[in-house]
Amino acid sequence: MNKQASCGPVEHWDLSDGKVAMLRSIGPQDAEIEQAFVRGLSEESKYFRFMTQMCELSPEMLQHFINPDPMREAALIVTVPRDGGGAEEEIAVGRYAMNPGNESCEFAIVVADAWQAHGIATRLMQALMKHAAGRGIKRMEGFVMASNIKMLEFMCFLGFEVRSSAKGPQIKLVSRPLDDMATI
Ligand SMILES: CC(C)(COP(=O)(O)OP(=O)(O)OC[C@H]1O[C@@H](n2cnc3c(N)ncnc32)[C@H](O)[C@@H]1OP(=O)(O)O)[C@@H](O)C(=O)NCCC(=O)NCCS
């Protein structure tokens, strides 16, 4: 049974530098921090995430990204406090969209370069998988560039199977059942 995505704050994490990161659903109020996050990514991170060269999100992409369809999509962001005044800086985002039939979903994830190798993606992927499992989605899939060795190793670490894809030799399909994920 598929359910509408829940919203609002999900988790708080203590980071090694003393900051507290917040994991929450993205929303229409996040246009500025989402665009700033994408602009700030390195060329390589942007290419691995979007599989094309780009500077920033188009207005259409931005609107879509901050307004995921609650019936078939979800997007979780990780933020840290900025400037001590209640403002947030986005440091990671993970999202998925249900595939036709609603049995599986396709995900994508990206972490700000300065925050990589701190375990952010591990926690974000766990949250994304639990979120999807809680809606009754049975399998999570994603497309990863064959040259993205770090992501492919990370996927294996998380229990994803890596296979060739119908998109050609440069793009791998990663796939994992969600039956071991606790429901939200
Ligand atoms: C790939 C990416 C998401 C990883 O994000 P990250 O926050 O650096 O990931 P984590 O810190 O959670 O690292 C993964 C952790 O999982 C574990 N891990 C990953 N691969 C592992 C392996 N092969 N063996 C054992 N442990 C592994 C480790 O604990 C590792 O942390 P460490 O290497 O710092 O010890 C990030 O590099 C990124 O955003 N890349 C650009 C965008 C992208 O490629 N997106 C994928 C396409 S959708």
Kindly tell me if the per-residue pLDDT of 1 is higher than 50. no
- What class has domain 9-177? alpha beta
Q: What is the pLDDT of residue 183?
A: 53
**Cβ-count burial 2-15 (b if 16+ within 10 Å, e if not):** eeebeeeeeeeeee
CA nearest 33: which of 98, 105, 86? 86
Residue 47 confidence (pLDDT) above 70: yes
Pocket test for ligand 1, best of 78, 91, 116 (most atoms within 8 A of CB): 116
The Cα–Cα gap between 6 and 122 comes to: 21
Global pTM?
0.92
Domain boundaries along the sequence of the chain: 9-177
Find the 1 Cα to ligand 1 centroid distance in Å.
Answer: 31
Contact 66, 93 (CB under 8 A): no
> 55 pLDDT exceeds 70?
yes
Ligand 1 residue neighbourhood (C-beta within 6 Å): 45, 48-49, 108-111, 116-122, 142, 144, 148, 150-151, 153-154, 157
pLDDT for the residue numbered 85: 73
> How do residues 85-116 score in pLDDT, each as one tens digit?
789 999 999 999 999 999 999 999 999 999 99
Determine the pLDDT at residue 15. 85
Cα 75 to ligand 1 centroid, rounded to whole Å: 19
Q: How far is the CA of 150 from the centre of ligand 1 (A)?
A: 6
Portion of the chain with pLDDT greater than 70, in percent: 93
Count the Cβ atoms, other than its own, within 10 Å of residue 44. 11
Residue 149 Cα to ligand 1 midpoint, Å, equals: 10
Distance (angstroms) between ligand 1 centre and the Cα of 174 equals 14
Closest residue by CA, ligand 1 atom 9: 121
Mean pLDDT of 123-147: 96
